[in-house]
Amino acid sequence: MIQGTGSDVGKSLVVAGLARAFTRRGLEVRPFKPQNMSNNAAVTADGGEIGRAQALQARAARVPPSVHMNPVLLKPQSEIGSQVVVQGKVVGTAKAREYQAMKPKLLGAVLESFGRLCAEADLVLVEGAGSASEVNLRAADIANMGFSRAANVPVVLLGDIDRGGVIASLVGTQAVIDPADAAMIVGFIVNRFRGDPSLFADGMKDIERRTGWPALGLLPFFEQAHRLPAEDALGLPTTNRGAGVKIVVLAYPRIANFDDFDPLRLEPGVDLVFVRPGEAIPGDAALVILPGSKATIADLAALRDAGWDIDLKAHVRRGGRVLGICGGYQMLGRSVADPQGIEGPPSTVEGLDLLPVETTLTGDKVLVEVAGQAEGVPFKGYEMHVGRTTGATTPMFALDGHDQGAVSGRIAGCYIHGLLTDDRQRRHWLAKLGSQTSGFDYEADVDATLDLLADHIETYVACDRLLALARER
């Protein structure tokens, strides 16, 4: 199990790299994260959803993603708290204090899923959540030491030297956690090192001396990390290249599944800009995308508060294109109704009235992989949404048994996540924007980057020793 001294220390990436490295050795590998919190989720073949990071780790292990790889997923919403997903299915919502009371009941599902993966694999790589030293949450923990102790899984502690204070964070973790928890830790790795590694050799020895844990690797910063899907809003790009056709994504507060746009970020000749509240939509944008949202009504209000509704109308008057995906598609319509109070108090709000559709939020959630054609060009992707949208006079595509989206002039909307991940559709949209397509193959690029990550980890981490430290179940 890879646990961290804090959030965003690189646990997900290290597990993905180890998964590919050990898979290349001929082992059957499965990733596992007992509890995750993320609004970037993936649909599984068994009809559920898991965190995007576990889907990437499954890809690294060259196996299909399963709901058992992330049995508890928390998806933050608005004032009602987080949606709680257990083994791929929504079981309700809970605020932070309410969720603490739920956790002991969830441990059974976590251990069941873990057992299933152990039965089919040579090696299970477990990723912790947040920090191993959150002793205030330890009593009902199912994500870090609580899981490790319950399942008897040894722990490697990961620290991030790039943020500073890595010696204190590693040594301090041992100082504050229970001695029985500390005994589960069998070694440590220092991640994201930059510069001459010999300058930190004494630091590694000092950590070993103070903790008694062996050093298992000093891992340099992986420069290609930005080419892999990020798990949460911490991974939202903050810069752009400033050249090529400009495509704008509205980064409202509860943006979800923004990895839909990773291929555009990497596409040569595209200037992808994430616009945040307080920033105006650039006047030279060729396409403005309204992405998915975990709380459509709340983010629609935030969109208006930011003045983006006015900017969008000006963009359309200038001849610009607009694409709404999932929650963004719902916002583009005439109204969004929430009669059951799924996102908050029951209400109906006016939409942006840029598409002739109406949406009603419903309790059942659509989770399915789909394939079809849009404007004669094939695509594949997935749907992940609550709500039904009706009234489209001109559908965006033909898709039997599913919402077909809507088109009105240069404005389009649909429920299909991954539409622009499909190279065929992305090239089609770039051609409509007057951009020359490059032939960039996104899926091949992700796979090649995972191989580079595995090479990187094999070079700097004691992988043979990690295997020796793993325990039989």
3-state secondary structure 7-27: CCCCHHHHHHHHHHHHHHCCC
- What is the pLDDT at residue 95? 85
The Cα–Cα gap between 14 and 21 comes to: 10
pLDDT in tens, the chain (473 residues): 999 999 999 999 999 999 999 999 999 999 999 999 988 899 998 889 999 999 999 999 999 999 999 999 998 876 668 889 999 998 888 888 888 888 889 999 999 999 999 999 999 999 999 999 999 999 999 999 999 999 999 999 999 999 999 999 999 999 999 999 999 999 999 999 999 999 999 999 999 999 999 999 999 999 999 999 876 554 566 555 557 899 999 999 999 999 999 999 999 999 999 999 999 999 999 999 999 999 999 999 999 999 999 999 999 999 999 999 999 999 999 999 999 998 889 999 999 999 999 999 987 888 989 998 888 899 999 999 999 999 998 989 877 777 889 999 999 999 999 999 999 999 999 999 998 778 899 999 999 999 999 999 999 999 999 999 999 87
User: Quick one: 180 and 279 in the same domain?
Assistant: no
- Whether 51 and 139 map to the same domain: the answer is yes
User: What pLDDT, on the 0 to 100 scale, is given for residue 398?
Assistant: 78
**Within a domain: 189:** yes
- For residue 233, being part of any structural domain is answered with no
Whether 256 contacts 326, CB under 8 Å: yes
Same-domain status, 152 and 291 = no
**Residue carrying structure tokens 């030297």:** 161
163 and 255 share one domain:
no
Residues 123 and 206 in one domain: yes
**CA–CA separation, 345 and 251 (whole Å):** 24
Q: Based on the domain organization, do 144 and 269 belong to the same domain?
A: no
The partner residues of 337 in beta bridges, in order of sequence, read 348, 360
Provide the domain limits for residue 272: 245-434
3-state SS record for the chain: CEEECCCCCCHHHHHHHHHHHHHHCCCCEEEECCEEECCCEEECCCCCEEEHHHHHHHHHCCCCCCHHHCCEEEEECCCCCEEEEECCEEEEEECHHHHHHHHHHHHHHHHHHHHHHHHHCCEEEEECCCCCCCHHHHHHCCCCHHHHHHHCCCEEEEEEHHHCCHHHHHHHHHHHCCHHHHCCEEEEEEEEECCCHHHHHHHHHHHHHHHCCCEEEEEECCHHHHHCCCCCHHHCCCCCCCCCEEEEEECCCCEECHHHHHHHHHCCCEEEEEECCCCCCCCCCCEEEECEECCHHHHHHHHHHCCHHHHHHHHHHCCCEEEEECHHHHHHCCEEEECCCCCCCCEEEECCCCCCCEEEEEEEEEEEEEEEEECCEEEEEEEEEEEEEECCCCCCEECCCCCCCEEECCEEEECCECCCCCHHHHHHHHHHCCCCCCCCCHHHHHHHHHHHHHHHHHHHECHHHHHHHCCCC
The verdict on 165 and 135 lying in the same domain is yes
Name the domain count of the chain.
2
Question: Is 262 contained in some domain?
Answer: yes
- Cα 135 off chain centre by: 26
Residue 232 lies in a domain: no
pLDDT at 399: 76
Q: Please indicate, yes or no, whether residues 396 and 462 belong to a single structural domain of this protein.
A: no
Residue 240 lies in a domain: no
CA 354, 360, 366: angle at the middle one, nearest 5? 105
pLDDT at 447: 98
Verify that 363 and 261 share a domain, yes or no: yes
CATH code of the domain containing 371 = 3.40.50.880
pTM score above 0.85: yes
Active site residues per annotation: 326, 417
Residues 189 and 279 in one domain: no
| Contact criterion met (CB below 8 Å) for 18 and 56 | no
* 413, 382: one domain: yes
Q: Which residues pair with 205 in a beta bridge?
A: none
Judge if 150 and 46 occupy the same domain. yes
